[in-house]
Every structure is written in C-alpha cells, then in structure tokens.
Structure 1
C-alpha cells in the first residue's frame, strides 16, 4: 500500500512566536519599570565577593583549586563554572 494512500493522522503545526512574545511581555511587566538589570548584576557581584571573603589560607587554597578545576567560577566578569 502506498503511504500517501493511508492518512491516519492530520498534520498539526503551531507557531509559538506570538505566545513567546506574550510570555516575555508578561515577565517584563511583572518586573516593573523600576527593575534595573545593571544593579542586579552589581548586587550579585557584591554577594559573590562577600561569600568568599574572609577565607583562611587553607580555605583559600581549596577555593583556588576548585576554581582551577572548573568546579567553581572564578572572579572574572560573566563567571560560570566550567562543569
């Protein structure tokens, strides 16, 4: 039997572009006009610096080994763990 002769399903396609646009608009509306992404990033950098401040020598050594191994992100901008 020719596959073109057996129609057991109806093709269904949907373009989610409009829904994605609505979702993004909803997120921005929920964040509000006072949301400042640069301030958020500065706050994250400050929190990260505070998290690893005050380490003793042994803790600093372990921290540096974890950064070198890619387990923890380093202190560079846009940091993320490699693994």
Structure 2
C-alpha cells in the first residue's frame, strides 16, 4: 500500500487484516483473545433424567429389572463346555467380564 492509498478511518487497514484473528495484537500469544467458557448443564441433566423416568413409566421396577438381568446373565453363561468355561474364566481374570459368585461360569 502506498502512502497515497491510506485506509479511510472507518475501513480496516489491509496490512493487518490478514495477519491473524480479529482483536489479536501483533506479537501477542495466540490465546490472548480467548476467554473462559463455562456451561452449567445441571438443569439439562435434571430434565434428561425426568424424561427417562417418564419414558420408563410408573410400572418400572428397578429391583425386578436387575433380577431379570442377572437371570439372563446366568442363562447366557450356563451349559458351557470345558473350553468355553476356561475362556470365560480367563476373561473374568483379565477384567473383561465382571466377577460373579465364585468367579466361574455355571456348569
């Protein structure tokens, strides 16, 4: 830009316009124009929980649901042959499957 082509008072200076983010000073740290942002999601989480409980309905029984889940787990791992039982025990020992009862699959 030549001295005759100076920017008008209300126009941005082209020499600094492409140098970085808006509001950044030359030589300033890249995060100098940033500010902290915090969002409280407590109200949203309470609303989400209310919607989940509403979707489950008034007949939902968490104790019965847990009991049914344990029965399904027992059925899933019952009747394993020796090789499958060995693999199950290895997975429990490695922490891949949770330890239940004696830590062995039902025979």
Structure 1 counterpart SS, 2:40: coil
Alignment CA distance shift 1:61-1:26 (3 Å): same
* Gap regions ≥5 residues in structure 1: 2-7, 77-83
Task: Choose the corresponding residue for 2:96, options 45, 66, 71.
Answer: 71
Q: Following the alignment from structure 1 to structure 2, what is the Cα–Cα distance between the partners of residues 11 and 74?
A: 44
Q: Following the alignment from structure 1 to structure 2, what is the Cα–Cα distance between the partners of residues 75 and 26?
A: 32
**How far off is 1:28 after superposition?**
0.8
Q: How many residues are matched?
A: 71
Structure 2 counterpart SS, 1:58: helix
Alignment CA distance shift 1:15-1:51 (3 Å): same
More helix by share: 1
- TM-score normalised by the chain length of structure 2: 0.54
Does residue 16 (structure 1) correspond to residue 45 (structure 2)? The answer is: no
Task: Choose the corresponding residue for 1:56, options 81, 87, 98.
Answer: 81
**How far off is 1:24 after superposition?**
1.2
Partner of 1:45: 70
Deviates more, 1:33-42 or 1:64-73: 64-73
**How far off is 1:56 after superposition?**
1.1
Deviates more, 1:65-74 or 1:31-40: 65-74
Q: Following the alignment from structure 1 to structure 2, what is the Cα–Cα distance between the partners of residues 72 and 13?
A: 37
